[in-house]
A = this chain, B = another copy of it.
């Protein structure tokens, strides 16, 4: 079930660079020098460019003709834009998950929630794990939608951006407790096969996150 261990050099560099960018080891808005990066990875520029073009496809890099690649900038306004996109897409994903999720997938989802509850009762301050766990939760629901296009858009494109924002803005969630209970209600709606409600709850869940960020932004 693991992703195959990078059959090609470009693939390995792609994966590695993606992690570096997401974790902020390559600062946002940095212009990438192809000769420099190629030398660093000890590959040719062709191979590197292959990797870079894929990163562009993930929305992590931007490219201008005759100028080069640049790491995307994470502005607060774009973060809010991302929330809007997630609200709509994940809302739909949740509706479809309620209709299409297999019992095995649902069980996995409930296990994850139970695990979160344990973790939460053990340690309150582990914002990092909670955040990754939150993303796992959303991930499983998207997979449950059984809509390949939705899965590709969210899991292979937008979620890397989401992780990038979380790493760099590090929003320790004061919302953790409430978010957990929202997760619980969402699962209940899915279990009841109530797609309409599931969508509404997911949209509110993400919208509440967005408003939380907006509020935090305004106080700065």
Binding site for B on A (CB under 8 A): 7-8, 11, 46, 49-50, 53-54, 56-57, 59, 65-66, 78, 81-82, 84-85, 87-89, 91-92, 96, 147-150, 152-153
Contact = CB atoms under 8 A, between A and B. Distances in A.
Given A53-B50, A56-B57, A65-B8, A85 B92 contact: yes
B92 A148 contact: no
Given A11-B65, A50-B49, A56-B57, A96 B84 contact: yes
A3 to B, nearest CB: 12
Report, nearest first, the 9 A-B pairs whose CB atoms are least far apart: A88-B92, A57-B57, A53-B53, A88-B88, A81-B149, A7-B65, A81-B147, A85-B149, A8-B65
A161 B82 CA distance: 22
Contacts of A89: 85, 88-89
A174 to B, nearest CB: 26
A211 B59 CA distance: 32
Nearest to A154: B85
Nearest to A77: B148
Contacts of A82: 149
Contacts of A56: 57
A55 to B, nearest CB: 10
A85 B150 contact: yes
B11 A84 contact: no
Contacts of A53: 50, 53-54, 57
Contacts of A92: 84-85, 87-88
Given A84-B92, A84-B149, A85-B89, 7 more contacts: A53-B57, A57-B57, A59-B152, A78-B149, A84-B147, A85-B92, A153-B153
B7 A153 contact: no
A66 B8 CA distance: 8
28 contacts: A7-B65, A7-B66, A8-B65, A11-B65, A49-B50, A53-B53, A56-B57, A59-B152, A78-B148, A78-B149, A81-B147, A81-B148, A81-B150, A82-B149, A84-B92, A84-B147, A84-B149, A84-B150, A85-B89, A85-B147, A85-B150, A85-B153, A87-B92, A88-B88, A88-B89, A88-B92, A89-B89, A153-B153
